[in-house]
């Protein structure tokens, strides 16, 4: 069964600290993996997209890694800011008869405090 | 990247009534999607809406409950019909915006009382 599991479920860190969020998936055939940031009351906004051949991708203070062999991904946030408080969702795309489809993780809720 | 305007942003509705949610994309897109996001849960795909054809519904979702319109390449609506408190959720539209990109609307927070 295609699944995306994220950990931790929630995380509280102090402003300025780094953190790493985890994503494990059992999705095939794999197309790509995305990380989205969802602020409360808003729609998800894309942070990174990685295909099978990409190991790492950065977007400012966000760095995502992908190990396609172990089917694991991580999102590292450097020097956290209060505005980083949000839900971070790991989304895996796979090939199907219609082209591609998305499987969403439940997200990690990050709270950055001062 | 494309921008999607979704409205209403939130609504409180009486059970038994219907609510229509609208999504407007600022560019033409072939595929649009409707999702439900229940508290503490991941996004669940309701249906895929392609212009000029019937929407394709996922298992557990039916057209009578969630009728969808897609009159052109920039617009789609989702109606939540005969609502019950179990329909209280966030509803999101999304569009495939070229390459691997998917853009989301800002969501509609629906509360059924």
How many Cα neighbours within 13 Å face the side chain of B73? 7
Question: What per-residue confidence (pLDDT) applies to A8?
Answer: 97
On the question of pLDDT at B1 being above 80, the answer is: no
What is the band of A28 on the pLDDT scale with cuts at 50, 70, 90? confident
For the record, the structure tokens of A4 come out as 């995306």
> In A, which residues are within 8 Å of B109 by CB distance?
41
Tokens 């980083």 sit at which residue?
Answer: A84
Q: Higher model confidence: residue A1 or residue B112?
A: B112
Comparison of pLDDT for B100 and A62, the residue scoring more: A62
pLDDT score recorded for residue A101: 85
- Round to whole Å and give the CA distance between A30 and A14: 35
Place of tokens 């309701």: B46
CB contact under 8 A, B42 and A89: yes
- Within chain A, residue ranges assigned H as helices are none
Yes or no, beta carbons of B102 and A102 under 8 Å apart: yes
For residue A40, what pLDDT is reported? Answer: 87
Q: What is the pLDDT of residue B7?
A: 97
Query: Nearest to residue B49, comparing CAs of B96, B104, B100?
Result: B96
Reported as a single tens digit per residue, the pLDDT across A38-57 is 998 888 999 999 998 999 99
B45 contact residues in A (CB cutoff 8 A): 101-102
The dihedral through the CA atoms of B27, A62, B43, A51 has a sign that is positive
* For B106, nearest residue in chain A (alpha carbons): A43
Taking only the tens place, the pLDDT of each residue in B59-107 is 999 999 999 999 999 999 999 999 999 999 999 999 988 777 889 999 9
**β-strands A45-51, A99-104: how paired?**
unpaired
Task: Please report the pLDDT score of residue B65 as a whole number.
Answer: 97
Percent of chain A with pLDDT over 90: 81
Residue with tokens 């609502």: B83
Please state the rounded mean pLDDT for residues A95-111: 88
Strand partners, A65: A56, A74
pLDDT tens, position by position, B14-70: 999 999 999 999 999 988 999 999 988 889 999 999 888 889 999 999 999 999 999
Q: Could you give the CA distance from residue B53 to residue A43 in angstroms, rounded to a whole number?
A: 26
Q: What residues in B contact A102, CB-CB < 8 Å? A: 45, 102
What does the alpha-carbon distance between residue A70 and residue A114 come to, in Å, rounded to a whole number? 36
């Amino acid at each position: 069964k295609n699944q995306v599991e994220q950990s931790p479920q929630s995380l509280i860190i102090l402003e300025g600290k780094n953190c790493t969020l985890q994503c494990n998936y059992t999705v095939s055939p794999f197309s790509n993996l995305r990380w989205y940031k969802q602020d409360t009351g808003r729609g998800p906004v894309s942070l990174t997209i990685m295909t099978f051949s990409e190991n790492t991708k950065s977007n400012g203070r966000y760095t995502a890694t992908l190990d396609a062999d172990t089917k694991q991904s991580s999102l590292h946030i450097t020097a956290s800011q209060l505005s980083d408080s949000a839900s971070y969702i790991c989304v895996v795309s796979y090939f199907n008869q219609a082209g591609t489809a998305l499987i969403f993780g439940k997200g990690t809720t990050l709270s950055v405090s001062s | 990247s494309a921008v999607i305007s979704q409205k209403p942003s939130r609504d409180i509705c009486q059970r038994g009534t219907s609510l229509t949610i609208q999504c407007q994309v600022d560019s033409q897109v072939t595929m649009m999607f409707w999702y439900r996001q229940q508290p503490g849960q991941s996004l669940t795909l309701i249906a895929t809406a392609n212009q000029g054809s019937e929407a394709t519904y996922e298992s557990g979702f039916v057209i009578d409950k969630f009728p969808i319109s897609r009159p052109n390449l920039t617009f789609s609506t989702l109606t939540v019909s005969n609502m019950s408190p179990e329909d209280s959720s966030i509803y999101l539209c999304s569009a495939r915006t070229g390459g691997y990109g998917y853009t989301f609307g800002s969501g509609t927070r629906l509360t059924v009382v």
